Structure formats: structure tokens, C-alpha cells
């Protein structure tokens, strides 16, 4: 089974409601809103992109560490899979500011499949095998992530980090 991660825009009111009633999150995450503007899909490249952003696996204190950051999970299914964690509006604003300071070229320069393999980054064996050809796959979600983060920050919104 593979794991993908999405970020879904959420207002402070959405976050409060979903924290109180986690069973509503699937409908909110995948049926409500404008999927083109309200959700960012990283496919299976989520961990590698997080590694390019932060330089370390699964950090939680770096403002750029929102994709693979650990956090309290809500709505996990009976098999311990899926669910969501919350990215507060303040954390999203900090992420947007930090992301704006990092260029696509800087992210690309951080690409090191061997380091990803040493750090046990999800799909590292694929990145080692594919070499430089895999970089486009990892970076494909960056333009949408930049737009999403800037929009959330400008509107004072946070997000849900959805594991599927």
C-alpha cells in the first residue's frame, strides 16, 4: 500500500469543527470546496519534497516542515491508516514566508538521492535508481504549493495535512 499526502485549505472555524468532529473530515477534504485551489497533491513525492525543504527527515520545528511533520492525528481508520493533522493559520503563515525565501533552483540544488536513501526517505530507492530524472517528479507540486501557501497566509487560513 502506498501513502500520499495532501494539504487542504481550512479556516480556523473548519479546524475547530473538524477537531470536534473528526468523522466529517473525509467529506470536507475531498468533496467540499474548489479542488483546484483548496487542495495540493504531492502524490508519493511528499517525503522527498519535505526533505528538500528542510534538509532533514520529519522535523517539526522548522517553518518549512509542514508536509511530513508529525502531529496529532484525527480521523484515523480502524487499520491505523489515513486521517489528518492540523496546520494552524500561524504555522501556515510562517511556512509561506519561509517558502517564499527559497527558490526552485535552491530546492533543486538540495536534491541528493543518496542522502535520501541514508535517511530512509519514502521512495528513496526509486530516486537513487532514477537519479536526476526523478527531480521533476518531486518538484511538480511546488508551484501549486507556493500559490496555496501564499493564499492561505493572505486569508489567515491554515490547512489539514491529509494522509491517504
User: What's CA 46's distance to the chain center, in Å?
Assistant: 6
Whole-number Å distance between alpha carbons of 124 and 72? 26
Q: Which CATH class is domain 35-163?
A: alpha beta
Q: What is the pLDDT along the chain (164 residues), one digit of tens a residue?
A: 468 888 999 999 998 988 888 778 777 877 766 666 789 999 999 999 999 999 988 776 899 999 987 677 776 665 455 678 899 999 999 999 999 999 999 999 999 999 999 999 999 999 999 999 999 999 999 999 999 999 999 999 999 988 87
Place of cell 473548519: 14
Domain boundaries, the chain: 35-163
C-alpha cell at 3: 501513502
Rounded to two decimals, the pTM is: 0.89
Amino acid at each position: 500500500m502506498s501513502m500520499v499526502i495532501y494539504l487542504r485549505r481550512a479556516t480556523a472555524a473548519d479546524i475547530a469543527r473538524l477537531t470536534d468532529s473528526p468523522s466529517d473530515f473525509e467529506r470536507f477534504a475531498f468533496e467540499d470546496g474548489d479542488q483546484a485551489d483548496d487542495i495540493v497533491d504531492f502524490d508519493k513525492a511528499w517525503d522527498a519534497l519535505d526533505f528538500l525543504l528542510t534538509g532533514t527527515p520529519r522535523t517539526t520545528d522548522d517553518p518549512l516542515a509542514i508536509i511530513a511533520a508529525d502531529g496529532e492525528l484525527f480521523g484515523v481508520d480502524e487499520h491505523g491508516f489515513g486521517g489528518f493533522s492540523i496546520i494552524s493559520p500561524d504555522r501556515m503563515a510562517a511556512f509561506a514566508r519561509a517558502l517564499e525565501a527559497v527558490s526552485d533552483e535552491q530546492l533543486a540544488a538540495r536534491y541528493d538521492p543518496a542522502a535520501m536513501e541514508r535517511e530512509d526517505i519514502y521512495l528513496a530507492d526509486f530516486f537513487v535508481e532514477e537519479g536526476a530524472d526523478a527531480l521533476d517528479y518531486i518538484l511538480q507540486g511546488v508551484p501549486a504549493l507556493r500559490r496555496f501557501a501564499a493564499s492561505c497566509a493572505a486569508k489567515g487560513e491554515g490547512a489539514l495535512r491529509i494522509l491517504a
